[in-house]
Structure formats: structure tokens, C-alpha cells
Amino acid sequence: MVRISELSDDLLLKILTFLPTNVAVSTSLLSKQWQFLWTWLPKLEYNEYDTSASSALSCRDFIDKNLPLHRAPVIESLLLRFRRSSLRKPETIKRWVGVAVSRFVRELSIWM
């Protein structure tokens, strides 16, 4: 039997691609091996519709904290979906797009 800790980082990263971004980021708490693995994900999706109505600011804080930590030289796709006007501040969106552009984002979708 193979233990999950014995799997290669490439295989673990492949597994993380099937998880929502917020769940993939939370795996960084599992062990040192998983701590920064999510930062290499090629596709990121920050979807406010996945959060409760009371967590609009925490969604913005989550993106502010985690998007700049992304390490992959290229982001294949970045999806930002928001339903509340509190997250539609132009300077916030501009900062996130700046991070994406610095990682040579190939596909950028912003839904409001």
C-alpha cells in the first residue's frame, strides 16, 4: 500500500487541480510537503458564490493574502467571481489583475 506522503509532488499537484482553489490552499496545513504545493496550480478560481453571505470581506482578504503567493511562472487561467459590490473596488481588482499579468496569465475572467 502506498501512503499519500510517498506520492510525488507532481502527482499531488495533479490531485489538487480537481479541488476548488480555497480547498487546495487549505491543504497547506496538512504537512510541510503540502505547505506550498498549491502555489504551483495552473488554474485558480476565486468564487465568492462558494462563500456565505457574511464572508464577503474574508473572500477579498483570502485573495489578497494568497494570490501574491502563487509561484508558477504562468497562470493558465484565473477566474474571479463576485456578487457583492463590496468586492468591486477598482483598486482591488487592479491589484489582482496586476499579479495575474506578472504571472503571464493566459485566460482571465472577472464576473460581477
Which of the pair, 5 or 49, is modelled with greater confidence? 5
Neighbour tally for 23: CB within 10 Å: 12
pTM: 0.80
pLDDT tens digits along 36-52: 899 999 999 988 766 55
The CA-CA-CA angle for residues 15, 11, 48, to 5°, reads 30
Q: Can you give the pLDDT at residue 83?
A: 72
Residue 4 to residue 12: CA distance in whole angstroms: 8
Write phi, then psi, for 19 (nearest 5 degrees).
-100, 150
